[in-house]
Structure 1
C-alpha cells in the first residue's frame, strides 16, 4: 500500500515543477515531508482588535474602511492606505505593490488585515500586511482556530504553505503516517498517535487550549517533540555504530615511553587525570575504535592526558594526528608536544592551510611514509591529499567547533584504509550534563573534575567603562610590579576587520597612556607567523601587556600573566568569558579578571556577569549559560546544523532527554525504525557515507 512518503508534492493541486523545486530547498519532496514541515508558532487571528486599542509591537487583526489611498514619493516610493474604524485609524504601507493592488484598495472598500504595529510618519502602520478586501464574516468565537506560521524559503509565502498543508491533511485519512514508537510508550506518557498529533499541530481545532499551543506544551506537540529528540539521539548512535563497524588497531600500552615522559614532567598527575588516562588506556587496547569525549575545566590538564594517549599509540607503532580549530591553538599544542616528545626521540610534523609548496610536500611525504610519528595542525590535516602510513589515533580539540559528522570522514584516514582510527575528543568548555547526553550521544564521556594543586582562584571584578582610567592604572601597577596583563577587545559586529581595527586603536591608545610598558597586539588578521612571534615575545616576558581579540580564548599559557581586562563582556557568552578568564591564574601570584562593561546593562547581561563573579566552576557556569542562552549558542553549533530542531526547544523540553536516552539503545535493534525516524526528522542533513 502506498504511503505519504511515496506521494510527491506534485500530487497536490497547484504544485508544478517550479514550486516543487522551491519546496525542495526546504527538503520538502513528498507529502510526508510537507506534513513534517511543522509550524514553529501560531498567530491568534480569531478576533478583530479596535484600532484605538493598539500599542506599538502589538500583532493582530484589524478591520476598517479605506479613507484614502495615496502613492507617496519619499526615499522609496510606497503605497499608503489609510483605514479607519469606530475607534481610530491605521496606515497599511506597501513598498512593493502592483497596479491591481492599487486599484483594489480604493476609497470606501472594506479591508481586514493582519500585521505588527510599527511607528510611522502618519501614526501607527502595518508594513506589507496580509489583507482581504470585502472579507467574509469572522467565524463565531467557538469555531475560530489559531493560524499556523511556517518556516519559509525565498519564493514561497505563508498563505501558499498553509494551503498546501491543508491539502496534504486531506490525504491523512487514506494514508496514515507510520507510527514507529512502541504503543506502550505512548500509553505511559498519554500521548496521541503520530497522525492525530500531526493533524492537530497543523490545524488546531477551535476548542484546543490556546495557551498550551502557543507555549509548545500541548500533548500533540510534545508527542512530536519527543520523537524529534529521539531521532537526533538515534542519528548520533548511528554515527557511533557506523564508525565502530570497522575495526581499529589494538594499541597495547608499552610503559617505557610513558614512564620517561612522566619523569620529565615537573608535576604529578592529579587523581582525576590518572582516572581519565586509565579510561583511555583501556579503550585504546581494544580492536574497536575508541570514541571518547574528555571534558575538563580551564587549566585542568587535558593536554597532558592527550599526550599520554599519543604515547600509548606511538609506542604501539601507530601514528597520531592532533587537530585544533584555530592556528593559534594548534600552534600552542605543537610547541607543547614538541617540548615533551622530541626529547623522547619522536618525530613531529606541523600542517595548516598556510603550509604550502615544498614544505607541504615534504610534510605529506613524511606522514605517508610513517617517518613522522605525530602530526599537529588545523582541519588541513584531513584534506584528501593527506595520507598516513598507520594512523591509529586522532585527537580533536574543541570538537564543538567542527561539524559532528566530520567524525565519519576520519574513518578513511585509518591504517591500511580499512581500520578506523581511535578518536579522542577534548573540550575545555564544560558541557551541561543534559546537553552532553543529547549532543554527544555517540561518545563515551570522561571528566577531569579537579584542578592541579597550586592553581590560585581568580578574583573577578565587574566595573563600568566610566572607570576606565582606574583600570589603566591597575594595569600599570601590575606590570611595574613585574607581572604581565592581557587586554581583550570584543565587538558586537561579526566583522573580523572591525574587531581587528578596534584592537589596533585600543593598543595605540594604551601605548600612549602607558609609555613605560611594552605593548603587543594579536588579532585574527595577522599571519600565523606574526601571531606566533608576538605570543613568543609575551611568553618570554619581553612584552608587558598583550592587547588581543578573542583569538586568545583557549590554549594560551603564560604563568606570569596575573591580570586580564575584558572589554564589553556583556557581548560574550559565559563559557567564552570563563575561557578568557582562564588565561590568568596559572602561576604563583594572586590573579584578577576585570570585566569592564558598557552601561546600562540588560537584565540578561547583569545575570551573566553576576554568575561569573560568583563561580569559578566551569560546569556551574555552563549550566547557567545554557539557562540564559540555549543549546545552539552554548555548543557553538549554529554553523554546523546540530541541535537545530523543528519543534523541540531544548530548555522547555529537557525533561524528555533522560527518557529518550533510555529508549534509543533498544530501538537500535530495529534498523528500519531507526532509519525511518532519522530520515523523517533530519532529512538530507545526515549523510552517513558508505558503511
Structure 2
C-alpha cells in the first residue's frame, strides 16, 4: 500500500529535482498533501472560443483567427504587431520580445489560437504577449474541458509547471491516500462535501462552475476546506487550554476582608460592567483549575480596578499576585495606583523594572522571595531568573499581545508551587473583534467591560489637512490659555526610531517658536526611562502645558486635565492604535477634542479609516473595521502574526463558520486520535503557537 500523501515528498513526482524542490519549499510545499492544499487564486476560462467581435476590455479569452497584417512598428519600444480577423472582428497582437523565428512564423495567412487579455490599444482592442499556437484550417480548435487554475507562485516557477505537478498529484488522490478526517455524520449534519471531491473540484472546476463564488472564496468546496482548517486551529487552542489547566490551581475563594475596605475607600462606585466582570473573575479564582480569562475594556473603562480586586482575592488567601505591563511608563502607573490603593490596607507593593538596580533591586527580590511583598508590579524584569516568588497565586498581564510567547509562559512557570499553576488574568484596552476572540483566543474565557465610568465626556474627532497647520497651532494656544493641556503626537514617515525621535525634536522646536508663551515638553523612545518619567510627571502635575511625543504615550498615561490631542500623519497608524491614543484625552469632565492632521492626498483606504475614527468612539466597531482593512496578523500585533497564518480560511470572510466550528470541536473534543490528526494536517509541528 502506498504512503499517505502527507508523507510523500514532492520529489516523488516525475521531474522534481533539487532545484524545483527548493522553489516549491518557498511556497511551503514539501509533500503531495501540501501541493493539493495549495489552491488557485483565480481561474481562466479556456473552455470555449470567444468571437473577436464579442470581446470587451479586461476580458481574458481564447480567440481564433487568421493573421491579415504583420508589421514591425517603432514606437517608444520596437514591437511586432499582428492584426488577426475571425469574421466577427479584428484584434491586434503586440509582442515587445520576439525572436527572428517568431517574426518569420507570424506571417499573413497563418491561423492562430490565442489566449490573453483584451486591452484598449491605439487602434482598437489588442492582446499583449498572448499565449498562441498555430492551427490548420481543417483542425478543430482544441479547448480545455475545465477552468484553468492560476496559482500563487514564486520566482522561476511557471504556472504551466505548477499545473502539471498538481495534475500528477491528483492522479494519486484517493480517500485512502488523503483520508477524510471529518466523520460522515458531521459532514451530513453540516452539508459538507467530501475532502477528495472538494480538492478535485477546486483544482479542475467544470465549465459551468460559478466563477464569482470561487473568486470570493465562498464555494462549498472552499468552505469545506476552510471549515477543517478553522477546526484545526480551534482544537489546537482547546488542547493548549487543557494543558494549561491540567496542573490544577489553588482555590482562592472570595473572603472580602481586604476587598470590602478597598471598595469603601474608592472615590467612585464601580460601574455595572465592572461588577459583572469582577464576579466572573472571583468565581474563576475560587475554582481549582487555573483561571485563563481575558478582560477587554475600552481605554478608561476601569480594568485596573478589576485587576486590583483579583490581586486582593489572592492576597486574602495567603498567596502573592504579580502584575506585568509591557512598558516602564505603564508599569509605573500601575505601581502608583496599586500602592495608593493597597498600602492603606497594610500591604507592601514591590516594584521591579529595568531601572531598579543594585541594593534597591536586592531588597525587592528578598521581599518577593520571603513573601513579604504580597503584590509585585513590574515589566518583563519579572521574568528574570533571579526573581523567586514565595507562593504566586495570580498573574495579571496587561496588553498581553505586546509580550512574546515564552515570556508569559515563563511567568506561569514561576508560579508553580509543586504541581499547581497560578491563575491568569489578561487585560487589554485594544478591543478584539469577536471573530478573533473566537479563534485566536479560544483558549481564554472572555469578559468585556462595555461601560465607561460616569462623568466621562465623549471625544469629538476632527479630520483636517496638514495645509491648515497654522489653525491647529492656534487651537492649541487657545486651549492652553484656558488652563487646559494638550498632546501633540508625531507619527512619522521614517522607519528608524532614531529618525523618528529626531523629527519629534524638530516638531517640538518649531512649536516652541510658534507658541513662545507655552511650557512645552518632549517624550520619545530614545530618552532614558528616568528622563521620560520626569517629563511625564511634570505634565501630569500641569507644570507643562503641551507634550510633544512619539507613540510611546499610547498606553498608560492618565492626565484628566488634557482635553486636546493632535495626531500628525494619522494615516500611518492602525485604527486600534489611533483609538488608543485618542483615549488619552476625554478623561475629565470637560469637552475634549482629537485632531487628525493628515498629509494630502489621502488614499481611498486612508479616507475610509479616518472616517471611521470621526464617526465612532466604539472600540469594538473600530476593531472590526481594523480587522477588515488590515487582516488578523496586523490587528493582533506582529509578535503573534505567526499564529494567524491560514492557508485557505480567512477570518473575516469565514467568520460565520466559527460558531459551527466551536460546536463541532465540542462534539469531537474527546476523540484524541481524531483531534491530533486534524491538528497535524493543518498546523504540522507549529501547533504550539497558541501558548501565549
* Pairwise same-fold verdict (TM > 0.5): yes
Residue 451 of structure 1 deviates from its aligned partner by: 1.2
Relative to structure 1, the CA distance from residue 423 to residue 131 in structure 2 (aligned partners, 3 Å threshold; closer, same or farther) is farther
1:251 Cα offset (Å)? 2.2
Query: Is this contact kept in 2: 1:216–1:222, CA < 8 A?
Result: yes
Query: Which residue of 1 is the match for residue 353 of structure 2?
Result: 351
Q: 2:426 is paired with a residue of what secondary structure?
A: strand
Residue 442 of structure 2: aligned partner = 441
1:276 matched to 2:277: yes
CA distance in 2, matches of 1:498, 1:118: 46
Distance in 1, matches of 2:494 and 2:418, equals 44
C-alpha change, 1:461 and 1:66, in structure 2 (3 Å) is same
Conservation of the 8 A alpha-carbon contact between 1:524 and 1:551:
yes
Question: How many Å apart are 1:258 and its aligned residue?
Answer: 2.4
The answer to whether the Cα contact below 8 Å between 1:490 and 1:571 also exists between their aligned partners in 2 is yes
Measured at CA, do residues 208 and 292 of structure 1 come closer, stay the same or move farther in structure 2, by a change above 3 Å? same
Q: Could you say if the C-alpha distance between residues 164 and 368 of structure 1 is closer, same or farther in structure 2, counting changes exceeding 3 Å? A: farther
Q: SS at 2:594's partner residue?
A: strand
Q: Hey, what's the Cα distance between the residues in 1 that align with 2:414 and 2:100?
A: 66
What displacement does 1:410 show? Answer: 4.7
Residue 563 (structure 1) shift: 0.8
Q: 1:472 to 1:147 in 2, by over 3 A?
A: same
Contact (CA 8 Å) 1:296, 1:448: kept in 2 or not?
yes
Question: Which residue, 134, 146, 149 being the options, matches 1:147?
Answer: 149
Provide, for residues 529-558 of structure 1, a one-character-per-residue CA deviation record: whole Å limited to 9, x for no partner.
222122111111111101122221222100
- Counterpart mapping for 1:310-459 below 5 A: 310-343=311-344, 344-352=346-354, 367-382=368-383, 386-402=387-403, 408=409, 410-416=411-417, 418-459=419-460
8 Å contact 1:638–1:644 — kept in the other structure? no
Question: In the alignment, is the contact (CA less than 8 A) between 2:47 and 2:207 conserved in 1?
Answer: no
Over 3 Å counting, the alpha-carbon distance change for 1:510 and 1:400 in structure 2 is same
Give the structure 2 partner of residue 303 of structure 1: 304
User: Residue in 1 aligned with 2:471?
Assistant: 470
Q: Compared with structure 1, are the counterparts of its residues 436 and 116 closer, same or farther at alpha carbon in structure 2 (3 Å cutoff)?
A: farther
1:593 maps to which residue? 594
> What is the alpha-carbon distance in structure 2 between the residues aligned to residue 209 and residue 232 of structure 1?
29
Equivalent position of 1:520 in the other structure: 521
- Deviation at residue 115 of structure 1 after TM alignment: 8.9
Partners in 1 of 2:156 and 2:20 — Cα distance? 8
- Report which stretch shifted further, 42-51 or 203-212: 42-51
Tell whether 2:656 aligns with 1:655: yes
Task: Map Cα deviations across residues 611-658 of structure 1 (whole Å, 9 max, x no partner).
Answer: 333323223333343444443333335853233221222222222122
Q: Does structure 2 conserve the Cα–Cα contact (< 8 Å) formed by 1:233 and 1:664? A: yes
Q: Distance in 2 between matches of 1:685 and 1:116?
A: 44
Is 1:637–1:643's contact at 8 Å kept on the other side of the alignment?
Answer: no
Equivalence for 2:238: 237
Counting matched residue pairs gives 669
Task: Report the secondary structure of 1:295's partner residue.
Answer: strand
Give the direction of change, closer, same or farther, for the CA distance of 1:373–1:673 in structure 2 (3 Å limit): same
Distance 2:649 2:140 in 1: 33
Aligned partners of 2:71, 2:48: CA distance in 1, in Å?
22
Are residue 673 (structure 1) and residue 674 (structure 2) matched?
yes
For the 8 Å contact 1:148–1:202, the answer to whether it is kept is no
Residue equivalent to 1:537: 538
Q: 1:17 to 1:356 in 2, by over 3 A?
A: farther
Give CA-to-partner distance per residue, 1:54-102, whole Å, 9 cap, x none: 97x99889999997799x9xxxxxx987564544454557xxxxxxx97
Moved more, 337-346 or 221-230: 337-346
Q: CA deviation at 1:355?
A: 6.0
Equivalence for 1:484? 485
Change (3 A) 1:160 1:329: farther
Q: What is the aligned partner in structure 2 of residue 98 from structure 1?
A: none
The answer (yes or no) to whether the contact 1:4–1:175 under 8 Å persists in 2 is no
Going from structure 1 to structure 2, the CA distance change for 1:569 and 1:164 (only over 3 Å counts) comes to same
Cα deviation 1:156-201 (Å, max 9, x = unaligned):
5655443332222111137442212232332244321011112222
Question: 1:613: which partner in 2?
Answer: 614
2:223 counterpart residue number: 222
Q: What secondary structure, in the 3-state scheme, does the structure 2 residue paired with 1:217 have?
A: coil
Do the aligned residues in 2 keep the contact of 1:497 with 1:525 (CA within 8 Å)? yes
| Structure 1 position 310, deviation (Å) | 1.4
For 1:599 and 1:611, how far apart are their aligned partners in 2? 18
1:554 is matched with which residue? Answer: 555
| Contact 1:273–1:301 (CA under 8 A) maintained in structure 2 | yes
1:456 to partner: Cα distance: 1.6
CA contact (8 A) 2:301 2:451 kept: yes
Equivalent position SS for 1:565: strand
TM-score (norm 1): 0.85
Distance 2:237 2:295 in 1: 17
Task: Spell out the pairing of 1:52-67 with structure 2 (5 A cutoff).
Answer: none
Partners of 1:69 and 1:680 lie apart in 2 by 55
Would you say the 8 A contact 1:351–1:380 is kept in 2? yes
**1 CA distance for matches of 2:505 and 2:342?**
37
How many Å separate the matches in 1 of 2:316 and 2:217? 55
Structure 1 gap ranges (5+):
73-78, 94-100
* 8 Å CA contact retained: 1:459, 1:593: yes
Distance 2:619 2:653 in 1: 23
- Residue pairs, 1:559-574, within 5 angstroms: 559-574=560-575
Measured in 2, the distance between the counterparts of 1:138 and 1:412 equals: 73
Return the alpha-carbon distance in structure 2 between the equivalents of residues 383 and 191 of structure 1: 50
Aligned partner of 2:88 in structure 1 is none
- SS of 1:564's equivalent? strand
Q: Is the alpha carbon distance of 1:41 and 1:144 closer, same or farther for their aligned partners in structure 2, counting shifts above 3 Å? A: closer
Change (3 A) 1:336 1:91: farther
Query: C-alpha distance in 1, partners of 2:174/2:150?
Result: 21
User: Per the alignment, do residues 26 and 329 of structure 1 end up closer, same or farther by CA in structure 2, a change over 3 Å counting?
Assistant: farther
Deviates more, 1:516-525 or 1:413-422: 413-422
The answer to whether the 8 Å contact 1:148/1:203 transfers is no
Task: Tell me: CA distance 1:141–1:501, structure 2 relative to 1, closer, same or farther (3 Å).
Answer: farther
- Distance apart, 1:384 and its partner CA: 5.5
Distance 1:409 1:660, change over 3 A: farther
Q: 1:83 to 1:653 in 2, by over 3 A?
A: farther
Pairwise CA distance, 1:212: 1.9
What SS does the aligned partner of 2:641 have? coil
**526-535 or 630-639: which moved more?**
630-639
2-side partners of 1:538 and 1:47: how far apart?
72
Aligned to 1:664: 665
| 3-state SS of paired residue (1:655) | helix
Bigger Cα displacement from structure 2, 195-204 vs 179-188 = 179-188
> Cα deviation per residue 1:648-682 (whole Å; 9 max; x = unaligned)?
22222222122112221222111112121122122
Equivalence for 2:40: 39
Contact 1:573–1:625 under 8 Å retained in 2: yes
Residue of structure 2 in register with 1:166 after alignment: 167
Alpha carbons 1:40, 1:151 under 8 Å: kept? no
* Cα 1:313/1:173, change in 2 over 3 Å: same
Q: Give the equivalent residue in structure 1 for 2:87.
A: none
Secondary structure of the corresponding residue to residue 180 of structure 1: coil
Q: Find the structure with the greater CA-based Rg.
A: 2
* 2:214 corresponds to: 213
Q: Residues 62 and 463 from structure 1, CA distance in 2 versus in 1: closer, same or farther, beyond 3 angstroms?
A: farther
